[in-house]
Amino acid sequence: MRVSADAETMIALLGHGAYYEARSRAVAAERRQPPDPYWAMVRREIARRTRRDHVDTATRYLEPDGRIRVWPRGQGDEM
């Protein structure tokens, strides 16, 4: 649940930079002893939500009323 919330927040705040910020945090977390997989999970969630193309378009994430769109698992892969 927290992974999803952090992914949603990062997408809303950073747009196309969300994946790269999460990746940077994941790399830093992997260097710690013991390694912390949390940011790697956030990075994967952002990649899943952005269809793994890591490109932000406002209409992809926002509903017409301004709410952030949350896709059920597997639904975002359709094109």
Mean pLDDT across 22-39: 87
DSSP the chain: -HHHHHHHHHHHHHGGGHHHHHHHHHHHHHHSSS---HHHHHHHHHHHHTTTS----HHHHB-TTSPBP-PPTTGGG--
What is the per-residue pLDDT across 50-70, written as a single tens digit (0 to 9) for each? 776 554 555 456 666 767 767
pLDDT of residue 17: 86
Mean pLDDT across 26-44: 87
pLDDT of residue 32: 84
Q: What is the mean pLDDT of the chain?
A: 77
pLDDT of residue 55: 46
